[in-house]
């Protein structure tokens, strides 16, 4: 889907570090145990939200409003 150059860029930047190191540390599987088993795959959303919260804190972003 992506060119070799794009894949190399993604793997070498913060996105690659996040995917290879930080996602492995997030407790999405443990949290997923609290979701209904037939209502979809909750781990994808849990990883997304955990990543968003991490980036928010890392970039020192504050809620507006």
Specify if 39 maps to a domain: yes
For the ranges 20-24, 34-38, 50-54, the lowest mean pLDDT is seen at: 34-38
> Would you give the DSSP letter of residue 19?
I
How high is the pLDDT of residue 42?
Answer: 57
Task: Please check the confidence at residue 35 and state whether its pLDDT lies above 60.
Answer: yes
The number of domains in the chain is 1
CA angle, 9 then 5 then 53, to 5°? 30
pTM: 0.39
Q: What is the mean pLDDT of residues 12-27?
A: 78
Q: Which two tokens stand for residue 23?
A: 């996602």
* DSSP3 helix / strand / coil % (the chain, rounded to 5): 65, 0, 35
Residue 65 lies in a domain: no
Residue 63 lies in a domain: no
Instruction: Determine the number of helices (DSSP H) and then strands (DSSP E) in the chain.
Output: 5, 0
pLDDT at 9 over 70: yes
Within a domain: residue 26? yes
Whether the pLDDT of residue 52 is over 60: the answer is: yes
């Amino acid at each position: 889907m992506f060119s070799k150059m794009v894949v190399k860029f993604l793997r070498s930047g913060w996105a690659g570090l996040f995917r290879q190191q930080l996602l492995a540390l997030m407790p999405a599987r443990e949290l997923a145990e609290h979701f209904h088993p037939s209502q979809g795959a909750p781990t994808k959303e849990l990883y997304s939200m955990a990543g968003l919260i991490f980036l928010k804190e890392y970039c020192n972003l504050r809620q507006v409003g």
